[in-house]
Amino acid sequence: MIELIPAIDLIGGRAVRLSKGDYSTAREYGDPLEMARLFADNGARRLHLVDLDGAKASRPSNLRTLEAIAGLGTLDIEWGGGLKSREALQSVVDAGAAYMIIGSLAAMKPDVFESWLSEFGAGRMIFGADILDGVLRVNGWTESAPAGLYELLERFSAAGLTRVICTDISRDGMLGGPSSLMYRDLAAGFPSLEFTVSGGISSMEDIRTLDRMGLPSAIVGKAFYEGHITIDDLRKWWKAN
């Protein structure tokens, strides 16, 4: 069964959600530690934690929250946001992250990303690929990457990368359903890589469709916070998985 990974986005130490990455659309959902505890108590094993402040500042800005959630001792945390230097990467490792998501830097400086794959372990590094109309976007989704997605996937898989979180920007936070065919094509083209679905999931039916397609994992964010997917839904899925 497909693994469901709950998401918490952070601004100012609080849990929020955006639409299409637009900070002006931020809606607050409370204490991220309590939210993480709720997920863990109901069977989650992994948490997708994104530092939106860090993404803007180009350095991690919510490390205390990471430390607090890691202190629960029950969730493997994948951290994204602000990882633009080795020092930043080490800081989130020290704070308790199990996995690190690298997006813009990997696309803009692939040689640096490859060195991190070697130093920190390819199994701990995740390539965060954000796509708009088939084009890889970087720097807060404001620019096109100099290299294409397929070119980078070929390069990074050869260097040992095993996992990619691929976000369809046009669907992020919109509750309109995921880009199922895009993920199907990526999985078929790169069978050695695990593609995590990100963006657009609106219901458990979306999850069941992705599961039938054989996709390995999906991030659940706004659909949960807006009540389209309940904690009972998640608990049942996690217990069955």
Positions marked active-site: 9, 130
Cβ atoms of 201 and 207 closer than 8 Å: yes
Nearest to 50 by CA among 12, 81, 26, 71: 81
Nearest to 224 by CA among 173, 149, 150, 159: 173
Element holding 132 (H helix, E strand): strand 125-132
CA dihedral over 176, 182, 188, 192, signed as positive or negative: negative
Which stretches of 133-235 are assigned E, i.e. beta strand? 135-138, 143-144, 163-168, 194-198, 217-220
In 21-148, which ranges are continuous DSSP H helix?
32-41, 52-57, 63-70, 86-95, 104-108, 110-120
